[in-house]
Amino acid sequence: MISSTSETILSIKDLHASVEDQEILHGVNLLVKEGEIHAIMGRNGSGKSTLSKVIAGHPSYKVLSGSIQFKGTNILELEPEERARIGIFLGFQYPVEIPGVSNLEFLRVATNSRRKELLASELDTFEFEDLVKERLKIVEMDPAFLERSVNEGFSGGEKKRNEILQMALLEPVISILDETDSGLDIDALRIVASGINTLSKPNTATILITHYQRLLNEITPDFVHIMANGKIIKTGSKELAIDLERSGYDFINKDAKDKEMAT
Amino acid sequence: MTKTNTVEEIVSQPYKYGFITEIETEKIPKGLNEDVIRLISAKKNEPDFLLKFRLRAYKQWLKMEEPDWSGLTYSKVNYQDLVYYAAPKKDIKKQSLDEVDPKLLETFEKLGIPLSEQKRLSNVAVDAVFDSVSIATTYKEKLAEHGVIFCSISEAISEYPNLVEKYMGTVVPINDNFFAALNSAVFSDGSFVYIPKGVECPMELSSYFRINSGDTGQFERTLIIAEESSSVSYLEGCTAPMFDTNTLHAAVVELVALDDASIKYSTVQNWYAGNEEGIGGIFNFVTKRGECRGLRSKISWSQVETGSAITWKYPSCVLQGDNSIGEFYSIALTNNFQEADTGTKMIHIGKNTKSKIVSKGISAGKSKNSYRGLVSISPNAEGARNYSQCDSMLIGDKARANTYPYIQSKQPQSNIEHEASTCRISEDQLFYLQSRGIDFEESVSMLISGFCSDVFNELPMEFASEADKLLALKLEGSVG
């Protein structure tokens, strides 16, 4: 699946970033290539969510130094909407509710802005309804959700499915899914995971941010990274996640520190 | 990462209706006295009862003082420095559109209100008022087939004096307030609607008010009567050119709904609001009131207020008939130095009367946007119910939003609910939309439309998209 000739999608080098004048990321390095699934694990406050927001361009987060390249292009100067249009997708940990804005219309406008970038034709209301009904199946969502306001009154699981529906419509090149598994029961987790698997293509990549191993039982990562104190301190294969589940973060921390001292 | 746009910039956009029509007008000299009132009345060939009505109102007005309880800040109007009558010079009374000055038709076409037979809006009859005069009313014949009268108030005064005499001033008495008294003394034109018993008006009725002269006050007067078991939906739109002086607009609207009748009255007000420094703009002091005189009658006000330097306006319902219903849906958007003090009064007199108030205020720039409302339940109004919801959205950190809900209940068997909220456009909502590829401006306008959706849903179909477009225009970036 992954060959050495695979194209690099995302390249993050020595990234330092702050929010409210407090530095959270202290030099993150990450390389993601086509076809790869990466998992980033770590405790609360280790910087995982910050990293995802910085990649997507949240205005509250400031990049102090370092670089983020998407397919060889620096994206730090791009607005969040420009990043989205070129194929960077952030699945939110807590998708916000937007009262009064129809979910269907929101999805249509979003889809069309991505299609415009891909030089595909704009979809009118009828064409879009056909498309969205087909994609709804991926997340086993009831079409009734389309008629409601964006995420308003959705349960935690419904919000997460709505995120994956957006991913299915926007067909991103790289999807960063921030704790998509949190708050899901077993059935919902399985649906969401199978959606993500279905949407993973040889020319796309996925970064899963998660606390728990259980999502990784459903989606097999190629790489597992452990974040602590705003850095990736350890990278391994999926076995790393299993070790982590068994021994806890303290063990990994200690292990990483030992290595750091040895080198 | 640099943010090139701010929400504040987006809500500031140039006024698109600020042009002036070069047309010869007949104006009377500035100033106000009894002779001026007699002159206006004579110019319009009015019957004696109306002249007396005007003079009574004038005498009341002289005794009254301009209200200042709203806390609106504006330099007081010099009422002797205004022109009280201005009309295009060409003959006012015309039989067909062919006789209307093409410049006027062009003006309305530019405003998006084509009046000519070929282009007119389908299913909307329009009464076009230019300065003090109604210049054309479309679809009159078609409406007449159903017995519906839709014409300018001047025409109604000469053609249907009995109806006018019977109803005018009965909902808003001449001494109701300072501006209503002034209007009653000097009103120039406006619309008149009469829906006979049992008739459902076959099309939307609409008046479009255009101020063109700079120093002319506009005092229009609208009267709508819905007889038993009839219904009508009426729309009103307004624009004005940009002047650096303030223009006074003091209108009176009276609605009467008899047994089982229903009136829906919608306004999109986009008078010139003044520039970014707060220079110029319309002073909009309006008295609008409807009386649900009949059993089970219903009056519903909806308004989208985006223009005017100063707005002072409280479309109200007097719920006299048992089981009658009053509604008020409002969106008020203010920017720069605009001030709006708007809301409603729901006066419950009859038993089991119901009212509903939904108000959405959006304040940007250094503007001030207040909701002021009264819910009053009289001792006889057993089983009266009211629900009020007042939401404010602040854009930037210099705008102000106030809510003044007054509640007076003298009836223990009544039920009043009030909800209020204030919010800002949240950065997280904006980021969420942007992170889906939707650009900043469109995201802001989506959020604002969403905030207003409860009210949009109440606007007539033909108008809802118009109003949404208007808000979007107001929210458009300075480009274009």
Q: Is the pLDDT of residue A64 over 90?
A: yes
Say yes or no: A118 contacts chain B, CB-CB below 8 A: no
Contact between B297 and B324 under an 8 Å Cβ cutoff? The reply is yes
Q: Which of A59, A89, A100 is the closest to B450 by Cβ?
A: A100
Amino acid B273: pLDDT: 79
Q: Could you tell me how many CB contacts below 8 A there are between chain A and chain B? A: 88
DSSP state of A97: P
Q: How far is B451 from chain A (nearest CA, A)?
A: 6
Can you read off the two tokens belonging to residue B130? 């230019």
62-91 of A, contacting B, C-beta below 8 A: 62-63, 76-77, 79-81, 83-85, 89-90
Q: Which of B427, B432, B451 is the closest to A59 by Cβ?
A: B427
Q: Which of A19, A81, A150 would best serve as a mutation to test chain B binding (most B beta carbons within 10 A)?
A: A81
In this complex, do A58 and B453 lie within 8 Å of one another by their Cβ atoms? no
Q: Find chain A residues with C-beta within 8 A of B457's C-beta.
A: none
In this complex, do A100 and B426 lie within 8 Å of one another by their Cβ atoms? no
Listed range (A53-57, A64-68, B12-16, B434-438) with the worst mean pLDDT? B12-16
ipTM of the complex: 0.94
DSSP string, B332-393: EEE-TT-EEEE--EEEE-STT-EEEEEEEEEE-TT-EEEEEEEEEE-TT-TT-EEEEEEEEE
Q: Is the pTM of this model over 0.80?
A: yes
Q: How many Å apart are CA A193 and CA B100, to the nearest integer?
A: 69
- Provide the mean pLDDT of chain A: 91
pLDDT, one tens digit per residue, over A80-119 is 999 999 999 999 999 999 999 999 999 999 999 999 999 9
Spell out the residues 6+ positions from residue B162 whose beta carbon is closer than 8 angstroms to its own.
none
Q: Find chain B residues with C-beta within 8 A of A58's C-beta.
A: 431, 435
In this complex, do B450 and A166 lie within 8 Å of one another by their Cβ atoms? no
**Could you tell me the pLDDT band of residue A259, with boundaries at 50, 70 and 90?**
low
Contact between B117 and B97 under an 8 Å Cβ cutoff? The reply is yes
In this complex, do A106 and B428 lie within 8 Å of one another by their Cβ atoms? no
DSSP state of A134: H
CA dist A225 → A39, A197, B54, B228 (Å): 6, 20, 84, 75
**Residue A95 corresponds to which amino acid?**
P
Q: How far is B421 from chain A (nearest CA, A)?
A: 14
pLDDT, one tens digit per residue, over A170-189 is 999 999 999 998 888 888 89
Give the gyration radius of chain B's Cα atoms.
22
B7-25 b/e (C-beta count within 10 Å ≥ 16 → b): bbbbbbbebbbeeebebeb
For residue A64, the chain B residue with the least C-alpha distance is B1
Q: Find chain A residues with C-beta within 8 A of B3's C-beta.
A: 59
Q: Is the pLDDT of residue A160 over 60?
A: yes
Q: How crowded is residue B327: how many other Cβ atoms within 10 Å of its Cβ? A: 19
Amino acid B235: pLDDT: 86
Q: Which of B4, B432, B456 would best serve as a mutation to test chain A binding (most A beta carbons within 10 A)?
A: B432
Say yes or no: A18 contacts chain B, CB-CB below 8 A: no
For residue B431, the chain A residue with the least C-alpha distance is A58
Q: What is the mean pLDDT of residues A250-258?
A: 65
Amino acid B142: pLDDT: 87
Say yes or no: A114 contacts chain B, CB-CB below 8 A: yes
Amino acid A22: pLDDT: 95
pLDDT, one tens digit per residue, over B31-77 is 899 999 999 999 889 999 999 999 999 999 999 999 888 888 888 88
Q: How many Å apart are CA A167 and CA A114, to the nearest integer?
A: 11
Amino acid B240: pLDDT: 66
Contact between B247 and B216 under an 8 Å Cβ cutoff? The reply is yes
Instruction: Please give the share of chain A, as a percent, with pLDDT higher than 70.
Output: 93
Q: Which of B3, B427, B447 is the closest to A98 by Cβ?
A: B447
Q: Where are the domains of chain A?
A: 8-262
Q: How far is A76 from chain B (nearest CA, A)?
A: 6
Q: How crowded is residue A116: how many other Cβ atoms within 10 Å of its Cβ? A: 13
In this complex, do B1 and A110 lie within 8 Å of one another by their Cβ atoms? no
**Which CATH number does A8-262 carry?**
3.40.50.300
Amino acid B480: pLDDT: 20
In this complex, do A96 and B429 lie within 8 Å of one another by their Cβ atoms? yes
Q: How far is B448 from chain A (nearest CA, A)?
A: 9
Q: Residue B416 is inside which H or E element, if any? A: strand B415-424
Name the nearest CA neighbour of B221 among B252, B254, B193: B252
Q: What is the pLDDT along chain B (480 residues), one digit of tens a residue?
A: 333 345 555 555 667 677 777 777 778 888 899 999 999 999 889 999 999 999 999 999 999 999 888 888 888 888 998 888 877 766 544 556 666 777 777 777 776 666 766 666 666 777 877 776 777 777 888 899 999 999 989 999 999 999 999 999 999 999 999 999 999 999 988 899 999 999 999 988 888 877 777 677 888 899 999 999 999 999 887 666 666 677 888 999 999 999 999 999 988 887 777 888 878 888 899 999 999 999 999 999 998 888 888 899 999 999 999 999 999 999 998 888 889 999 999 999 999 999 999 999 988 888 899 999 999 999 999 999 999 999 999 888 888 999 999 999 999 989 999 999 988 888 899 999 999 999 988 898 888 888 988 888 787 766 666 666 666 655 443 222
Name the nearest CA neighbour of B444 among B2, B11, B4: B11
